[in-house]
Amino acid sequence: MHRLLAILLVMLASLALGLGATLWVVSSNPQIGALRAGPWTSDLRAATAPDPYTRARQARDGSVGLVLTEGLKAAARVDDSGRRLFANCTYRVSGNVPPSRFWTLTAQDGNGQPIDTALHRANWTSSELMRGTGGHWEIVVSPSAQPGNWLPVSGNAPFQLMLMLYEPSILGGTASVNREQFPHIQRGDCR
Amino acid sequence: MSAWVRLQQVLFGLMMIAVLAGIVHIVSLLVMPRFASQDAYHLLIAQDSASKIRLIDEALRSKMVEDPAIVAAACPYDLNDGPLRIGVAPLAQEFLSISFHPTRGPAFFALTDRAAAKAEIDMLLVTQDQLQAIEGEDDPEEPITELRLVAPEQKGFVFVRSLVRRPGERAEAERRVLSVGCEIDKSEMPDN
């Protein structure tokens, strides 16, 4: 009797733990095996040969993944110093972007949806950016109005920046990127 | 029972939990996509199962399209009805990508407007049987101008993306993705 109870307990615990791990991994997207460049992470495998984790996630959330020839997504949840991005702070995003035909930078909330402010601007595209000499650009992510390329955010919740590269040309078969190919994210004042 | 034996039993139990939980995790992960009804294909045919191009509306956008600068359209297909012809002519000098997806799992083919050698895209999505039937009818004197692609399964969907470069250009991008022809083309098939 004692033994039967023990076996039952082991089975139940295994089932709960195993299914729990599956549920967690497909709903929270912990970026297993992602490519890293400073604060940026990119799930390169999802774009080339999706692993079972990506497949399970796509089956559950209805998303349609980009093929690498179409585009590549990179996301940052932290700034250059590794501090979590918060919508009540101002961030200066500048530097390089891996060579591509076109790119966009979007501020997303915790659910991966664009942050909708009264200004209805949740992103900047490489075509519309105001640039300085030598093509230098800077996007200021901030809850308060900024001159230049202002990407408004609101509230004080954590958020993430999504960098989408369309028809990227960096990845000629190799999966190596270096830090300086991706933009810097520097934190300014916080409210 | 000595404390040592008891400890051994508890450790063995924990080990069993770890191994079994690992098996449950892997099996559930692999099996899950087979039973999914919320994947992109099923969401699309729940709206309309006809093989024609349609814009991804607001309801599906939040799931399928992450980038607000992307305008997308989709075209579910069922090759049991015949081969699927996908055509764009003429191509604008703007980003346009077309990807081919089975009912589940990753895309099996994708191309962008730049990959097209000419100023147009002319593709025929077929099953292996349809390809053989069509090739049997090919005139050896005439060059084949279309790109023929064999689908891994009968059903799936085509996904089209274009970019809104500036806020005022959304309507133009919508026209661009909707201009992609996507319909069952029985004319290619030999008469039965």
Chain A hits for B161, CB-CB cut-off 8 Å, are 70
Q: What is the pLDDT of residues B76-101, one digit of tens each?
A: 999 999 999 999 887 788 899 999 99
Angle B137-B138-B141 (CA atoms, 0-180°, nearest 5)? Answer: 135
Domain match, B29 and B50 both: no
Total count of domains within chain B = 2
What domain range is B147 assigned to?
Answer: 40-188
Average pLDDT over residues B20-48: 86
The region of weakest confidence among A34-38, B109-113, B179-183 is A34-38
Residues B22, B68, single domain; the answer is no
Shared domain check, B87 and B68: yes
Q: List, for residues B51-68, the tens digit of each pLDDT value.
A: 889 999 888 988 899 899
| Confidence at residue A47, expressed as pLDDT on a 0 to 100 scale | 65
What is the predicted pLDDT for the residue at A170? 62
- What average pLDDT score do residues A13-18 get? 90
Kindly report, residue by residue over B178-192, the tens digit of the pLDDT.
Answer: 999 999 988 767 654
| Chain B contact set for A18 (CB, 8 A) | 20-25, 27-28
CATH of domain A33-190: 2.60.120.600
Query: Is pTM, for the whole model, over 0.90?
Result: no
Say yes or no for a CB contact (<8 Å) between B20 and A18.
yes
Q: Where are the domains of chain A?
A: 1-30, 33-190
CB atoms within 10 A of CB B45: 16
Least confident of A56-65, B1-10, B42-51, B96-105: A56-65
Interface mutation target, options B8, B29, B170, chain A, most CBs of A under 10 Å: B29
Say if residue B149 is in the same domain as residue B125: yes
- Same domain, yes or no, for B10 and B82? no
Statement to judge: residues B103 and B14 lie in one domain = no
Facing A104 at nearest CB: one of B69, B159, B161:
B69
Under an 8 A CB cutoff, do A62 and B64 touch? yes
Same domain, B23 and B109: no
Q: How far is CA A89 from the centre of its chain?
A: 18
Mark whether B72 and B162 lie in a shared domain. Answer: yes
Please check whether residues B26 and B56 belong to one and the same domain.
Answer: no
By residue count, chain B amounts to: 192
CB-CB contact of A170 with A85 (8 Å): no
Residues B167, A121: C-beta atoms closer than 8 Å = yes
Kindly state whether residues B12 and B100 are assigned to the same domain: no
ipTM exceeding cut-off 0.90 for this assembly: no
At B174 the pLDDT is 93
Both B163 and B77 in one domain: the answer is yes
Contact A15 B106 (CB under 8 A): no
Q: Do A13 and B17 touch (CB under 8 A)?
A: yes
Q: Taking 60 as the threshold, does the pLDDT of residue A175 lie above it?
A: no
Helix (H), strand (E) at residue B130: helix B128-137
Which tokens is B49 given? 């199962």
Same domain, B159 and B69: yes
